[in-house]
């Protein structure tokens, strides 16, 4: 993994149109993103959806919108990329299950709220141990509580995406924002969550 300065430089060049830098920064985040997507795919769709395909589409979308990412926020890049990937998954679910396929009524893999699991993965320090499932559930509850303490504009966006399971496009339409503004509010909100959660989070480590 590149150090902080190298990553910042790569993202800055990628935003500026350097295709090699963009390829490098997406590759650096690909394995982590694929693990996250593997966890997110609902059980009934595991034979039809492939995490690698979802990540590939997410990287393609990210490449189209990389110009909207602020390189000064390089530590938020994975949060931005993961939000895009979750929207790719929601689109895939709609294709397979119809318009209501990503509406939150489907039981997701390993139980619980898939969107909350995603946010917990992004923010909370989760380690493999015999009590990891309990720790994950506690982490999700801490994240939900922390969301309620955020300023309204960040709380509203995070709640719509991670509680009501709406896509960034739908949130942008509802709040009369640009889609890129939604991504950045999500990223800023996660940064604030990291500060609130303190030692429970390693998102920026």
pLDDT digits (tens, 9 = 90+) for 56-109: 999 999 999 998 888 877 778 888 888 898 889 888 888 877 655 544 433 333
Please give the mean pLDDT across all residues of the chain.
74
Q: Report residue 114's pLDDT band, with 50, 70 and 90 as the boundaries.
A: very low
Q: Report residue 115's pLDDT band, with 50, 70 and 90 as the boundaries.
A: low
Average pLDDT over residues 111-121: 48
Structure tokens at 73: 């926020």
Main-chain phi, psi angles of 70, to 5 degrees: -85, 110
Whole-number Cα distances in Å, 1 to 18, 23, 146: 20, 14, 29
Residue for token pair 């990287």: 59
Residue for token pair 């830098």: 21
- Select the highest-mean-pLDDT range: 109-113, 118-122, 154-158, 177-181: 154-158
Burial of residue 122, with CB atoms counted within 10 A of its CB: 0-12 exposed, 13-18 middle, 19 or more buried? buried
Q: Report residue 168's pLDDT band, with 50, 70 and 90 as the boundaries.
A: confident
17: Cβ contacts below 8 Å, ≥ 6 apart: 67
Range of the domain at 84: 4-200
What sign results for the dihedral spanned by CA atoms 63, 66, 72, 77? negative
Average pLDDT over residues 121-130: 48
The answer to whether position 192 is within a domain reads yes
The answer to whether position 32 is within a domain reads yes
The answer to whether position 205 is within a domain reads no
Domain count, the chain: 1
The answer to whether position 181 is within a domain reads yes
pTM above 0.75, yes or no: no
The answer to whether position 55 is within a domain reads yes
**166's torsion region: left (phi>0), alpha (psi -120 to 50) or beta?**
beta
Half-sphere exposure of 98 (CA within 13 A, CB side): 3
C-alpha torsion angle, residues 66, 104, 102, 131 (rounded to 10): 60
pLDDT confidence of residue 122: 55
C-alpha torsion angle, residues 164, 98, 86, 117 (rounded to 10): 50
């Amino acid at each position: 993994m590149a150090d902080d300065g190298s990553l910042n430089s790569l993202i800055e060049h990628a935003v500026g149109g350097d295709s090699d830098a963009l390829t490098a920064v997406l590759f650096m985040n690909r394995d982590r993103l694929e693990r996250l997507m593997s966890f997110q795919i609902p059980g009934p769709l595991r034979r039809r959806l492939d995490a690698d395909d979802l990540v590939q589409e997410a990287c393609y979308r990210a490449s189209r919108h990389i110009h909207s990412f602020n390189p000064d926020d390089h530590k938020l890049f994975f949060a931005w990329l993961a939000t895009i990937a979750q929207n790719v998954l929601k689109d895939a679910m709609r294709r397979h299950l119809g318009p209501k396929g990503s509406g939150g009524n489907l039981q997701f893999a390993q139980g619980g709220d898939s969107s909350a699991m995603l946010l917990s993965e992004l923010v909370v320090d989760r380690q493999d141990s015999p009590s990891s499932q309990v720790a994950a559930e506690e982490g999700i509850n801490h994240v939900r509580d922390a969301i309620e303490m955020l300023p309204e504009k960040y709380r509203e966006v995070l709640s719509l995406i991670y509680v009501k399971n709406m896509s960034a496009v739908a949130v942008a339409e509802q709040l009369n924002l640009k889609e890129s503004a939604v991504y950045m509010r999500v990223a800023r909100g996660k940064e604030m969550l990291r500060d609130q959660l303190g030692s429970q989070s390693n998102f920026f480590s």
